[in-house]
Every structure is written in C-alpha cells, then in structure tokens.
A and B are shown apart, each in its own frame.
Chain A
Amino acid sequence: MPKLTINGKELEVPAGTNLIQAAKQVGSEVPHFCYHPGLSVAGNCRMCLVEIEKAPKLQIACNTAVTEGMVVFTESEKVKKARQGVMEFLLLNHPIDCPICDCAGECYLQDYYMAHDKAPSRTEEPKNKKAKAEDIGPHVMLDKERCVLCSRCVRFTDEISKTHELGIFGRGSTEEIDLAPGMRLENDYSGNVVDLCPVGALTDKDFRFKSRPWFLRETNTVCGGCAMGCNIVLNTNLNPYNKVGQKRAYRIYPRENAEVNQFWICDEGRYSYHAIDENRKEGASLSGTPVTLDFGLARFSEGLKKAIAAGADQVAFLLSPQMTTEELTAWKELAAALGVTQVAYGDDIKRTGKADAFLMKADKNPNTAGAAALGIAPAAAPLLAKAADGSLKALVVVDHELANAAELAGKLEFFAFVATHNTPTDKAAHVSLPRAMYVEQDGHFTNVQGKVQEVKKAMEPIGEAKGGVELAAQLSMRLLPVKATA
C-alpha cells in the first residue's frame, strides 16, 4: 500500500486509488463534475486539478493514481486559482436560471460557486444560446444551456445501460449533448442520468416543479419493487400528511451499495414511490364497507376465534413476501399461538414482471428470501385449492390478489384480508384491515442475494393503517389469554 502525503497529512491507501478518493480520507473534498466512481474516467471538466510536488503542471485528481511518496496539495493557491478559473469558464455560457431550475439546491455549480469561486462574472460577451426543455425520453427532459458537458450521462448510456442513446454533438463551445439520430432516451435505467447530471441539464419529468429539494426529507432505505433490494434514498415531504390524496413521497434515487446496486436503480423501482400515495387502503372495511380500525379488528378476532374453536385445522394463513421479516415473524407466531398450522406465503402466486441481467428481478416481492428463511411454506396454491373445494372454513390472506376472491368469500365462513392498497379482493373479503407499507415502518428485507437489509420508516402510516407487527399484536391481545409475567 503506497504511502503519500495530502495537504501535509500522511496516509496509506491501496494502490490504484485515485487522488479524489485518497483526499476524501484526509477530509479534503476535491471538487469534480465529470468524475463518477461508477463510470470510466473522462477527465474533461478539469475541476479536480491538484498540485503534485515535482509535477510541472497541475494534474487532474480523478486520473492520477497514488504512488509511493507522492506529495499532494489540494488547497494550494495554484489549485484554488485553477478551480476558480474552471468555475468561471463553466458559468460563462451557463444561463444561471437557478430560480426556475429544478436542480437548484442540489446543483454542483451552485455548491462549487459558493465554495470555490464567489467572483462576479467578468464577461461582457453575449451567451451562447442552445435549446431548452427538450423532451428526450419518457422520463427525462434536457436543457442544453445548463449542461456543463461532463459526459456522465453519455458514459452511463455507453457503459451501464449499454444502450448508447446519448452523445456529444458539435464542437467547441457550441457542443451539446443530444440523442443519437432516431433514438429516444428510452431504457429501463434512463432515470439514472438525472441523478448523474451534476447540474440542471437533465431533469426528471416526474419530479420537475414538484418540490424544492430543501423541502424534502431523506430516508435511507431499500426499494421494495423487486427481490433485488436496491439501496435507495426516499424523499418525502418534510411534514408528511397521512391522508390519502396528499402527496407525501416525492422521489426515489439510488444510494451507493457496491454489493447490491452499485450506484444505480431501474426506472421501475425509481417510480414505484407513486404506490405510496396512490390508491392506498386507509381504514378497515367489512365486505367493502368502511369501518373504524377498532371495529375491523374486533370483527377479525371474533371471526377467527369462531373458526379456530370449530377446528384450527380448517384455518389457514396466507402471508406475503411483501411483508418485512418482522411482520412475517409476528404473523407466524400468531398462527402458532392460535394453533394454526397451515401457514404459507405465495411464492407460486407471487407478483412477477420484467427481469434483466442487471438489477431488475422477475420476482417483484422484496422479501421472498426472508419468508423462505423463516421456514414458511412457499406454497399458496394448495391452500387456495382447499379453500375453493370447501375443506377450509377460514382463510386469512395478506397482500395477495386473488382472482376468485368473490367465490371464496361465498364458500368460506371467514375470509379475512390484510392489504396496503384498495383491490377487488379487499372488497370481497369479510373483514379487511389496512396495512402500512414498507416505507411506513422499520424492518428488514432479505434480497435475492441473501443480504438482510434494513428498511426504515420514512413517514407515518397512511390513515388508520398499521404495520403488520402491530396488527398481529392487536389481534393477539384480542385472541389470546393474557399471561401474567413474573
């Protein structure tokens, strides 16, 4: 491991580390636009110039690997002057339309201007005019004037999505990012270019003009869109409402995890946050008629008690791999305490969808591996067959959409449902309880790689919804004798 000195501080880092990463370890941020750890080094923004002893010129930190005995200065006068120069060049033809720019508040140009420039503009020449607000794909808008031509988005489409939609066209100061002829930025990962864009050149149609970033709260959590469990940041309103019809979640963007999703997320996961606010089940219902949660719980426990009294072997629980491991455990324990042995999760009737060789998995449940690890049977079909042929009296279903729900409701003495969203099954069930989504409670998911990842509560559950653990606790209070503790 080479030893080097950065700003007078000695450190030892693995060979091959570049100076941006090494400087970070001594607490020095080297500003950069084009460098991104997930992409190849382009070295074109020239913002990361640093001074290296014995080097005749300033060197770009992103393309300079550490060597033994290297002496680096990231804050010398020469470096500061070069940075200020680059900032001046970048802002020369930048429209500085921050007040109407969606990126304001999370823009590298703004941040670096305050940190490294702070000088008034010296130019008197007219600025270059380029196209603004160009629709380049289903999710992304392009503003060529704001672009700093760092080529991150181009490299993303070349190296990560491998779809090659974007390119740099033209030359010199008239150069611009554009679509390859005849193409649109239409791939399953297109939203990532918005996160990559250090300025407001690429903006997300979904998020445009919805909120200023400083009005948003960040929660580090895990995407519940599929079995991959990509690490994400969920942006929510600073003071989220908990009523249906109020926008609480604003966007999802990926969080670095080298072992799971690196720096990326698919568009399906990115826009899955809409489900947090849309069509949510806010309260309990009896065959579709809304009731209070208390009433729903009472009916739920009464029905279940009656069925168990008639014979626990005719009762079945069908749990969901949408639930966190904690929820699954609570319901599994509840079933065990009640003497119910027929407990399964629907691996065979799970939600499935588009898959690829990168991040998208066909299994659209975030916790299939977690349910399997708990030893719950992955077979819903036999239970449902039993329910259909009349050999079951009671069935509790969590978050599985059943095609024959209405038929089951007629056959079963007690058909209960626990769900996060309003669905036809929800209307058919005798009793239905509202469950909090994974973003509304703390817990864990186990992804397809077997990694147990923490899911964090980003907001209060909507309406009267409760997490699966609390619902199980409420039911057990009503169903089970209270034991005195020592």
Chain B
Amino acid sequence: MSSPIFLTKNFKNPEAQTYDGYVKAGGYAALKKALTMKPEEIIEEVKKGNLRGRGGAGFPAGVKWGFLPKNYTGPKYLCVNADEGEPGTFKDGPLMEFDPHQMLEGIAITCYATDIHSAYVYIRGEFHKAFRAVELAIEECYAKGIFGPNVMGSNFSLECRPHPGAGAYICGEETGLISSLEGKKGFPKLKPPFPAIKGLFDCPTLVNNVETLACVPHIINMGAEAWAALGCEKNGGTKLYCVSGQISKPGLYELPHSVTLKELLYDHCGGPLSGRTIKAVIPGGSSAKILKAPDEIDVRMDFDSLGKAGTMLGSAAVIVIDDSTSMVRALDNLLRFYAHESCGQCTPCREGTKWISKIIRRVANGQGEIEDLDKILGILTNMVGNTICVLADAAAFPAESFIKKFRPEFEEYIKRGKRMSMTGWREEAVPKAMAGAH
C-alpha cells in the first residue's frame, strides 16, 4: 500500500541490522538531535506527538514518563517489555529481529529524557533470533559509544542489557516482568505502589513496549506535529497491525491509526478466503472482546474508537474468524491458553480460568447443557476486576463476548450434542458415555 512507513522501513534492508547499515539508513540522527534538547522538551514532544503505549493499554507514553519522581537521585530503571505473548501478536519480535537499532535508539532517547541510566530489555524466551539480534546490536552500541559512559560524546551515560524470559505470558504484565527480572517467580505485584514509584529492585521504573520505544526516534526526527498528523485525534503516528487467521493476506501491516478495521481487512488484507465470509474479528489480541462481522467492523483502529465500540486495540493483533470456524471450539482454544498461563496467584483467576476452561471443554466435547452458558457468565462476573493484574479480565472478556454475541451458535452446538471440528460441522454424534468419564 502507498501509505508512509517508518517502523518497518528497514525490514527489507538486512544491512540495517548492523550499526553501520542503520546509520547509513539515517539511524541515530534522532539520538544526536535529542542529546541537544532538554529532557523536558523531549517528554513534551512525545506528549504532543500523541504517542500511545503500544503494549496494549494505550496509555500516553509521555504522561507515563512524567510519573517518575522528580529530583530523585537514586537509581531508576527502564524495562523494555519485549515479552510479546498475546496470542495473535507478532510485531515486537520482527521489530527486534529486523531492526534492533531502531529500538535501541528509542531506548537511548527515552532514558535521556527521563534521566535513567540503566535499561533492561526483557525478551520473550522463545524469541531466540530476536534475542541474538538485540544482543549483537547492544554489543555494537557499546563499541560505537551509543551505550556506555558518554553517549555519543555527551555527559549522559547509559547501560543496557538484554534479558531472556522463560516463556510465561504473565511476564508480559509490567509488574510480572519486574518480578521475573528480579529473579523471582513472575508474579504480578500489588498496585499501589506503581512501578513509576517502586518498581524494579524497589526503585522507580519505567516499563515501555518495544514498539513504543521504536516510535520515539521518528517523533524526534520528524517533530511532534508531523507524527501526530499521521494518526488521528489523540492517537499519533503509524501502528503495526498483526493480521492473522482466516484472511487472504495475513501479515504485519504498518498503517496510520486512522485506518478502519474494514479497510484493513478488505483493502489491505484482501478480504476473506475464497468462498468464505468473515464471521467475527478479534481486533486487539485474544484478550479483546470480539467484534461481529459485518455489523461491528466499520470501526477506526485506534485506542479510543475501539474502546467506544466496547473492545480494545490492545496489541493490535487482528484475528479473523470466518464462517468455517466453530465459535465454541475457538473459545475452548482461547480459554485453555488463559488457564495455562494464569500465574495462579489470585484465587478468582487461578480457579476461574481453569473452571470455565473445563466447562467449555465439556461443551465442546458435546456434553454441554444450555445452563452451562449462564454458569460461565456468572463465574466471569466473579473474576472480572477482582484480581491483582488483568489476566482474569483478559480471559473473561473474550469468553463473555463470544457467548453473548454468538449465543445462538453455542446453543445450537449444545443442542445437537455433536462434535464440531475447527473447520466445520462433522455429522457423527458423540455418545455421552464415550466422551470422557465425569
């Protein structure tokens, strides 16, 4: 497509993975420029650029930076959240793998703006290639004076270390990430105190997503106004959309925030597979509430518009479900993920995610009752909002929206008491006695 790209511009330029190649492609100009600015000016630019946190919550990045205590002289940390684990999301991995210096430049600028001198890049355990790329890039940065005692000849010093995770979804939650980085089990921590006050090693800590940091050099380069103008109101710049599922051209798309879901699916991704129709779309990673097609997909893909539509942009992982997929099976698959990934700390999440997963598994096995649907909805109300982190909500939202929006399909499935595969109805009935003892 013809819209301008920034974050992914070096993806087809393997040379840019090295320091020299990245500089040749215009890299580290932003850092050089930033070092001539006052830290407050940089924060102001990011605020004016309407950069929303790309990790999922969409919190304005500049505002978050401002939460760090002023006139604090002790150590402060930047944790880069590269533990990309939301099902359907595949943007941070490529950003690190194909253009690691872009993120590192963002880290350097962010740390300069917030007077942080140590940064950790917490990279998901499965991302071997990305980890290697970041590790090499950091080594290069130390050699070239980007990191170390005098960043690009200035008085500013910065240490940066990559840290591999061990593949737990919950370590992508900012306080879970901090626990894991501290060497503890990846349990999310109680808030308050918030990480900005008491985070990593009990010091003020900023946690930002890879994509958020990758945006920062571009804001400095082009200026806040130009960046803000790329997007729409309160959602500045371009966004990486990860489109997957039953769609003609799945992939990673960099588009302005102002694109609608319909445009994304039909204009950019080529619409549904031939002979199929799109039944539903998860717009922002598996934790987002599902949208029914075609009625609900004419919505702008920014944080506020999707929020108004009752769902969220989240990590912008668009998962397309067409008419060949059973919603019961899809939900079973999703809920198994959450039951498996619940850290087990809070009672409602630990027990609730497993419970609804067991029920929906039974329903999917053809042994469900209509009452099970209401039972699940009832269980969800006891989970939502009652836990330390939002994993319980993340499991509850899709479950609730699947059942509420596709209730006739769920009821039909239960009534027929028949097995349905992921790709369509299969006619053989499953005798109750054979489908697992209870």
Contacts and interface: CB of A to CB of B under 8 A. Distances in A.
Interface in A122-156: 122-126, 128, 148-149
A190 to B, nearest CB: 22
A45 to B, nearest CB: 6
Nearest to A93: B351
Given A46-B387, A81-B382, A122-B375, A89 B348 contact: yes
A86 B359 contact: no
Contacts of B354: 128, 172-173
Given A123-B355, A124-B438, A45 B347 contact: yes
A85 interface: yes
Contacts of A81: 381-382
Nearest to A87: B347
Interface in A171-190: 171-175
Given A172-B340, A173-B339, A82 B386 contact: yes
A466 B146 CA distance: 84
B5 interface: no
Contact of A175 (B344, B383, B385): B344
Nearest to A91: B351
A427 B339 CA distance: 68
Interface string B374-388: 010000011101111
A47 interface: yes
A484 B438 CA distance: 86
A58 B385 contact: yes
A56 B387 CA distance: 13
A28 interface: no
Interface string B150-169: 00000000000000000010
A481 interface: no
B362 interface: yes
A149 B344 contact: yes
Contacts of B362: 124-125
B345 interface: yes
B190 A43 contact: yes
B214 interface: no
Query: Considering residues B341, B347, B354, which has the most beta carbons from chain A within 10 angstroms of its beta carbon?
Result: B347
B207 to A, nearest CB: 20
Given A125-B358, A149-B344, A172 B350 contact: yes
B386 A58 contact: yes
Dominant secondary structure at the B interface:
helix
Nearest to A63: B190
A336 interface: no
A81 B342 CA distance: 23
A126 B354 CA distance: 11
A5 B19 CA distance: 61
B347 A89 contact: yes
A148 B347 contact: yes
Dominant secondary structure at the A interface:
loop
A168 interface: yes
Nearest to B359: A125
Contact of A90 (B190, B344, B351): B351
Contacts of B387: 46
A165 interface: no
A243 B347 CA distance: 49
A88 interface: yes
Interface string A57-92: 110100100000000000000000110111011101
A49 interface: yes
Given A89-B351, A93-B351, A149-B350, A57 B344 contact: no
Query: Considering residues B190, B339, B438, which has the most beta carbons from chain A within 10 angstroms of its beta carbon?
Result: B190
B341 A172 contact: yes
A41 interface: yes
A149 B387 CA distance: 14
Contacts of A168: 185, 344
B343 interface: yes
A42 B190 CA distance: 8
Contact of A41 (B190, B351, B438): B190
A168 B343 CA distance: 10
Interface residues of A, number: 39
A92 B355 CA distance: 8
Contacts of A60: 190
A47 B382 CA distance: 12
Interface residues of B, number: 31
B352 interface: yes
A42 B388 CA distance: 10
A74 to B, nearest CB: 15
B232 to A, nearest CB: 27
Contacts of A148: 347
Nearest to A123: B355
A49 B343 CA distance: 20
Contact of A46 (B185, B339, B346, B375): B346
A128 B362 CA distance: 16
Contacts of A120: none
Nearest to A64: B192
Contacts of A211: none
B326 interface: no
Contacts of B185: 167-168
Interface string B313-349: 0000000000000000000000000011111111110
Query: Considering residues A44, A49, A148, which has the most beta carbons from chain B within 10 angstroms of its beta carbon?
Result: A44
B341 A49 contact: no
B385 A57 contact: yes
B244 interface: no
A171 B386 contact: no
Given A44-B388, A81-B382, A125-B359, A92 B351 contact: yes
Nearest to A33: B347
Nearest to A44: B345
A172 B353 contact: yes
A82 B342 contact: no
A124 B385 CA distance: 25
A8 interface: no
B136 to A, nearest CB: 32
Interface in A13-43: 41-43
Given A88-B382, A125-B362, A170 B344 contact: yes
A171 B168 contact: yes
Contact of B347 (A44, A128, A170): A44
Contacts of A170: 344
Contacts of B352: 89
A148 B351 CA distance: 10
Contact of A49 (B355, B375, B381, B386): B386
A44 B346 CA distance: 4
Contacts of A45: 346-347
A46 B347 contact: yes
Given A82-B382, A172-B342, A90 B388 contact: no
Query: Considering residues B185, B351, B352, B358, which has the most beta carbons from chain A within 10 angstroms of its beta carbon?
Result: B351
A422 to B, nearest CB: 52
Nearest to B340: A172
A174 B346 CA distance: 13
A55 to B, nearest CB: 11
B386 A86 contact: yes
Contacts of B375: 122
Nearest to B168: A171
Nearest to B355: A92
Interface in B113-170: 168
A321 B206 CA distance: 60
Nearest to A88: B382
B364 to A, nearest CB: 13
B342 A173 contact: yes
Interface of B: 168, 185, 190, 339-348, 350-355, 358-359, 362, 375, 381-383, 385-388, 438
5 contacts: A43-B388, A90-B351, A126-B358, A149-B347, A172-B341
Q: Pick the 7 closest A-B CB pairs, nearest first.
A: A85-B382, A175-B344, A89-B351, A173-B354, A125-B358, A172-B342, A57-B385
